[in-house]
Amino acid sequence: MKETAALLKKLGLKETNSGVFCGEWLGSGPVLKSVSPIDGKVIAKVRQATPAEFEKTVCRAQAAFQKWQTLPAPKRGEIIRQLGNALRDSKKDLGRLVTLEAGKILAEGEGEVQEMIDICDFAVGLSRQLYGLTIASERANHRMMEQWHPLGVVGIISAFNFPVAVWAWNSVLAAVCGDSTIWKPSEVTPLTAIATIKIAEKVCRANKVDPAIFSLTIGNRQSVGERLVSDKRVALISATGSTRMGRAIGEVVMRRLGKVLLELGGNNAIIVAPSADVKLATRATLFGAVGTAGQRCTSTRRLFVHESLVDEVTRQLITAYKQVPIGNPLDSKTLMGPLIHLESVETMQSAIKQLKKEGGEVLYGGEVLKGKNFPGGRYVTPCIAKAKGDFQIVHEETFAPILYIISYKSLEEVVAQHNAVPQGLSSAIFTNDVREAEYFLSTRGSDCGIANVNIGTSGAEIGGAFGGEKDTGGGRESGSDSWKNYMRRQTVTINYGRDLPLAQGIQFGDAV
């Protein structure tokens, strides 16, 4: 407890914390307890937003946007550069808090903060590359071009499994684009959000800019979530979470003709082809399926193995699974920590029952761990199961470490099974046959937003746009040209001649 108290103090946190930031710290709503999945104990408390405080946050974010959008983009980028450096200084402490609150192992906690640092670096370069286009006009003495302007207030809704990185993917790109942001973090991980915003606040104040460009409102769906997505003053809602949540948010935002960016569920698969490097495929599958206790949207959930290799791959995976150290994620030797909720454990057990009901077989794991080394009831052994591609449970995303192994005969057959699920986030094939790799990447191949060859489904870099198709929502966050989500496009035509020709050769007479 003393170590936890010292960590909270270093990050500017107290026993009870204000859960609203809009240039000032507020929070007079119901008290929320942050419970660590490591042992089920309360870390600290947070006072959530009231309706009046939410309203004040939106107003302050609007006012901050009006000033921030006029600051030249490279100067906005300089502030984000300083934010990246501030996150570097707090990497170990903030990463440890991610572990304490979300249950990730220490390496993944610090890795998540590194993602924030990396996206800050990306955004700094982007601040000098917000390019438009010059377009050839069909009319003489005319010039056409497109330019991009700041969008406005951006609402960010993040999930527990990446409690800070998803905020950074959205907020720092939005910031260099000239927007202000309002963050609604998961109610399960409020302390990491408060600590992150405190770091951003210091950077903003040091540069004499309104820190309300990085606003925060902690609250439940009724007090904050529904208000945020239905507010016409919020130009874009970027939401990360379940498909069910995304459908509800999308309907509300589209009803008011707002913009929405959805990054939702994944049911990600690896295909192990006959020519694959089996050792490489096994290592990638182990991290993809067991990392973050199977609670990443990019976690590997389905493993299609060619019938000639299925026995060998299964044997190697079971051997590897038996060697995974499970326990307190604050221990540097641990590779798999707890599930986030007791409900998550129940969901995992329910999925295993459904698997058996459909004719599947558990080959290893799936037990709930008990005893003094596994307090709180959230620890399980990762599960390997034998299944078929058309099982109903295989088509569902169970946010837990269950890996379904499915044998296949031909590439065309396995790609069809791969694409048959509702989700379309991340995918991979392990092969040393260039024709198989190219088929998998072709229009007839993977239908996912991410398609990899000889690397797993998990661990995307920030330089590429992140997201997927179908029930994954179609949104793209992080790198590439995803910055366009946070700006409004404007097509401009300039007539520098003395005539007024119309497009498409239309003649309208000489009445004037």
Can you tell me the mean pLDDT for 205-230? 96
Res 173: pLDDT: 98
Res 118: pLDDT: 97
| Alpha-carbon distance values, 64 to 23, 75, 280 (Å) | 9, 16, 49
Structure token pair of residue 484: 């366009």
CA distance 206 to 102: 30
Band (512; pLDDT cuts 50, 70, 90)? low
Structure token pair of residue 363: 């080959």
Band (1; pLDDT cuts 50, 70, 90)? confident
CA distance 283 to 279: 6
User: Helices 411-418 and 434-441 sit at what angle, rounded to 10 degrees?
Assistant: 30
CA distance 178 to 152: 8
For 131, half-sphere exposure in the C-beta direction (CA atoms, 13 angstrom radius) is: 8
Band (351; pLDDT cuts 50, 70, 90)? very high
Band (222; pLDDT cuts 50, 70, 90)? confident
Would you call 337 helix, strand, or coil by DSSP?
A: coil
pLDDT of 201 higher than 90: yes
Give, for 401, the enclosing helix (H) or strand (E): none
pLDDT digits (tens, 9 = 90+) for 11-52: 999 999 999 999 999 999 999 999 999 999 999 999 999 999
Say which residues have a Cβ less than 8 Å from residue 116's Cβ, sequence separation at least 6.
Answer: 84, 87, 164, 165, 167, 168, 172, 196
| Alpha-carbon distance values, 308 to 285, 300, 318, 463 (Å) | 18, 21, 18, 36
Residue closest to 400 by CA, chosen among 384, 420, 419:
384
pLDDT digits (tens, 9 = 90+) for 263-276: 999 999 999 999 99
**Mean of all residue pLDDT scores within the chain:** 97
Res 511: pLDDT: 59
pLDDT digits (tens, 9 = 90+) for 353-401: 999 999 999 999 999 999 999 999 999 999 999 999 999 999 999 999 9
Residue closest to 262 by CA, chosen among 296, 302, 295, 229:
229
**Residues counted in the chain:** 512
Band (2; pLDDT cuts 50, 70, 90)? confident
Would you call 67 helix, strand, or coil by DSSP?
A: helix
pLDDT digits (tens, 9 = 90+) for 51-105: 999 999 999 999 999 999 999 999 999 999 999 999 999 999 999 999 999 999 9
| Alpha-carbon distance values, 157 to 167, 168, 226, 266 (Å) | 8, 12, 11, 18
Res 321: pLDDT: 98
How much helix, strand and coil, in percent to the nearest 5, is found in the chain? 40, 20, 35
pLDDT digits (tens, 9 = 90+) for 230-247: 999 999 999 999 999 999
Can you tell me the mean pLDDT for 101-122? 98
Can you tell me the mean pLDDT for 225-230? 97
Which amino acids are annotated catalytic?
Answer: 263, 297
CA distance 425 to 199: 32
**Residue bearing tokens 């454990």:** 345
pTM value?
Answer: 0.97
